[in-house]
Amino acid sequence: MAKFARVRQITNKDNYVWLLLSLMLLFFGGAVAQQLGNETVNRIMGASLTAIILVAVWSLERGRFNLSSRIGITAIFIIIEGGEYLLNIYHLSTIQLVTMLVFVILTITICSRQVLLTGAVDGNKIVGAICIYFLMGMAWALAYLLVEFIFPGSIPSLGFEDWRSGFQEALYYSYITLTTVGYGDISPVQPIARYLTYMQAITGQFYVAIVVASLIGARMTTMEGASNSGAGTSRD
């Protein structure tokens, strides 16, 4: 029993580290696959996105998802990915896009509650705040692809037959918008796409200015308090 408790404690201390590493691997692997022009990029991206979702499912706070819920979500994503791969049903790919968007938004909500609204700030929660930032970019990328699918021509550069072919382009556009760099090589031309674009730019600025700064400030305050407490005990 003590051994189980210890494993759980370690997981709660480094769960966001694993999630961040998985996201970085997804982004880099997708970029390499696209650079090499691999014909199986679509399959790789679909499988990679599913893997990241499953990492998120199993790395989130235990109290939010019990074991049966985690197993159920895992089974759903595996069935969708496996069914699309084996049966080559295009509509399953679209269902995969919608399901991933919904779950990424849910993951952001749960991570935000755990990172921002519970307990003292530690290194894992700061990494969690970074994960939320990356997940925000992923959510908007999926949203752009969905808008382009529903309203073709909204973002001409994302007009791929299969959304997975355009995921890297959507991801690039999303993070360029989130950081307000705005190179202009990809531009929205229809109202809903433009709305999502400026809302993302606004959200990105507020997140960095308020959330991340507050977490780091709280962490420094905690460390200073501990240091002052130790100094006071030493003098006594």
Tens of pLDDT, residues 20-48? 888 888 888 778 777 777 656 666 666 67
Q: pTM, whole model, 2 decimals?
A: 0.78
b/e map of 205-216 (b: 16 or more CB within 10 Å)? Answer: eebeeebeeebe
| Whether the Cβ atoms of residue 133 and residue 209 lie closer than 8 Å to each other | no
Options 1.10.287.70, 1.10.238.10, 3.40.50.300, 3.40.47.10; CATH for 2-226 is: 1.10.287.70
Q: Which of 86, 63, 83, 87 is nearest to 75 (CA)?
A: 83
Q: What is the pLDDT of residue 5?
A: 40
**Domain spans of the chain?**
2-226
Q: Which of 55, 51, 58 is nearest to 96 (CA)?
A: 51
Tens of pLDDT, residues 64-114? 556 666 667 777 766 766 666 665 655 667 887 888 888 888 888 888 887
What proportion of the chain, given as a percentage, has pLDDT over 70? 67
Q: Is the per-residue pLDDT at 196 higher than 90?
A: yes
Q: What is the pLDDT of residue 116?
A: 73
How would residue 54 be classed by pLDDT, with cut points 50, 70 and 90?
A: confident
Q: Which of 128, 132, 79 is nearest to 104 (CA)?
A: 132
Average pLDDT, rounded, for the chain: 77
> DSSP 3-state assignment of 76?
helix
